[in-house]
Amino acid sequence: MTTTKTKIAVHKLTSCSGCQLAFINQGPGLLSLLEHIEICHFIEVGIDNPECPVDVAFIEGSISTPHDLERIKSVRALSKLVVTVGACATSGGVQALRNLACLYDEPHQLKARVYAAPEHIATLAHSQPVATAINVDFELWGCPVSTEQLLRFLSQLLVGAKPKLEKEKLCMECKRQQNVCVMVTKQALCLGPVIRTGCGAMCPSYGKACYGCYGPSEQPNTRSLANRMQGLGAVDSDIAQRFAQFHGDTPQFRAEIEHWIVHKEEKQ
Ligand code: SF4
Ligand code: SF4
């Protein structure tokens, strides 16, 4: 008896490749899935066929260059389902911090601070999530996306179930793990109350504040959390920086950054 395998592709746009590694880190889990899937394109494992039509295309990286924009349209046309993996693809990620440059002094010098010859760098005016250019079917957040989350997502797809995506607040998972709250006991600037779960509350489990790798949760009350941070002694720039780290260009976090940076003088 022959069974049809699900064809998948893993595409990279502007990114650090960390989310592709999360794929590879599935190790034996990924190997066992090979009975059911056929990998048609995945440059990190040496399979190079970006024009192959597939059932599911996983996208790592943001749209930061004209080439990214061209490629993502072609990927959409070749794929039945498109799934973004990681912060870059879902929210623009770390490289979308440049979208916030207008909030700071001398934004035009940003490229020159990073590159010795900035005239050779061809980028779009902004770094954008994939969903701004094409229709996206599912989003897996995280920087990087979690290996367990990927494996669970793929397994649900393969049995024909609608994948259940994480969006509740990290504090819920943290409490289920019976962690001691670092915000209460150490006055740490934890982002858990406004961040979606998916990492298993990894940082609070080791006594550290959440850095916000997984992006805004459903209905995040960012202003309330920011006010609490101020009450703990954080200065305005610390609060803005906290929200800027991984998902600074999402509407919810950008509003908070603008509030604590741009309106700072008005508040004084
Ligand atoms: S989301 Fe993070 S780990 Fe994944 S590609 Fe972007 S920067 Fe790298
Ligand atoms: S440690 Fe952070 S994630 Fe955990 S309950 Fe406290 S605020 Fe929430």
> What is d(CA 82, CA 104) in angstroms, rounded to the nearest whole number?
35
For the chain, give every domain's residue range: 6-158, 170-267
pLDDT on residue 121 = 84
Cα of 201 vs centre of ligand 2, distance in Å, is 8
Atom number of ligand 2 nearest to Cα 180: 1
pLDDT on residue 263 = 63
With bands split at pLDDT 50, 70 and 90, how would you rate the model's confidence at 175? Answer: very high
Across 132-158, average pLDDT:
94
Tell me what the pLDDT averaged over the chain comes to. 92
Mutate to test the pocket of ligand 1, among 143, 149, 196 (most ligand atoms within 8 A of CB): 143
Instruction: Please name the fold of domain 6-158.
Output: Rossmann fold (3.40.50)
Residue 80 or 110, more confident? 80
Render pLDDT for 181-209 as a digit per residue (tens, 0 to 9).
999 999 999 999 999 999 999 999 999 99
pLDDT on residue 246 = 94
Write the Ramachandran bin of 142: left for phi over 0, alpha for psi from -120 to 50, otherwise beta: left
pLDDT on residue 261 = 86
Q: Is the pLDDT of residue 1 over 70?
A: no
- Whether 72 is in the pocket of ligand 1, judged by its Cβ within 6 Å, is no
Render pLDDT for 239-259 as a digit per residue (tens, 0 to 9).
999 999 999 999 999 999 999
Cα of 191 vs centre of ligand 2, distance in Å, is 7
Residue 224 or 123, more confident? 224
Q: Is the pLDDT of residue 49 over 90?
A: yes
Cα of 231 vs centre of ligand 1, distance in Å, is 32
pLDDT on residue 23 = 86
What angle separates helix 236-244 from helix 251-261, to the nearest 10 degrees?
160
Question: Among residues 257, 216, 212, 210, which one has the least CA distance to residue 238?
Answer: 257
Query: Which residues lie below 8 Å from residue 48, measured CB to CB, with a gap of 6+?
Result: 41
Among all chains, which residue has been given the structure tokens 């993996």? Answer: 85
**Residue identifier of the C-alpha nearest atom 1 of ligand 2:** 181
